[in-house]
């Protein structure tokens, strides 16, 4: 009886270990976006292998605080949901499939990968 209980406990521990190891994952690939610099030049920003299930605020180096990026390109293997507002809030959002992108009309301030 003790052997059976020990085996069940060991199997449960292995399953729990595998479940928690997979929860801290990242989207593989690159997420790109365009933004205007404070000097008025167009620039491209990117994130390599961004964390999954974590909201990331998009801010280009040298751009005006609070300004939106645009034309996002999702070159990761995960679905990216981009938001018009910071901190992945608000009703204005758009979902980009892996390998997908959007036009210059889509303004973004934050993104989360699933």
Answer for the pair 111, 31: CB distance below 8 angstroms, yes or no. Answer: yes
Each residue's pLDDT tens digit, 60-70: 766 666 689 99
* Residue 23 belongs to a domain: no
Region 70-74: mean pLDDT is: 97
pTM: 0.75
CA-wise closest residue to 56 among 80, 77, 87, 30: 87
* Residue 60 belongs to a domain: yes
Each residue's pLDDT tens digit, 33-66: 999 888 889 999 999 999 999 999 997 766 666 6
Which pair of tokens denotes residue 52? Answer: 């999954």
pLDDT of amino acid 67? 83
**β-strand pairing of 56-57 with 110-113:** antiparallel
Angle at 76 between CA 41 and CA 15, to 5 degrees: 145
Number of domains in the chain: 1
* Residue 12 belongs to a domain: no
CATH code, 40:
2.60.20.10
* Residue 24 belongs to a domain: no
Provide the mean pLDDT of the chain: 83
Computed from CA positions of residues 18, 49, 114, 58, in that sequence, does the dihedral angle turn out positive or negative? positive
Q: Show the domain range for 51.
A: 29-113
Cα–Cα dist 84/111, whole Å: 9
Lowest mean pLDDT among 2-6, 54-58, 71-75: 2-6
pLDDT of amino acid 20? 42
């Amino acid at each position: 009886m003790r052997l059976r209980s020990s085996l069940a406990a060991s199997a449960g521990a292995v399953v729990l270990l595998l479940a928690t190891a997979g929860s801290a994952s990242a989207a593989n690939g690159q997420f790109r976006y365009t933004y205007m610099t404070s000097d008025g030049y167009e620039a491209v920003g990117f994130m390599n292998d961004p964390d999954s299930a974590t909201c990331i605020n998009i801010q280009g180096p040298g751009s005006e605080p609070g300004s939106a990026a645009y034309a996002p390109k999702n070159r990761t293997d995960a679905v990216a949901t981009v938001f018009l507002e910071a901190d992945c809030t608000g009703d204005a959002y758009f979902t980009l499939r892996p390998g997908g992108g959007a036009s210059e009309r889509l303004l973004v301030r934050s993104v989360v990968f699933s």
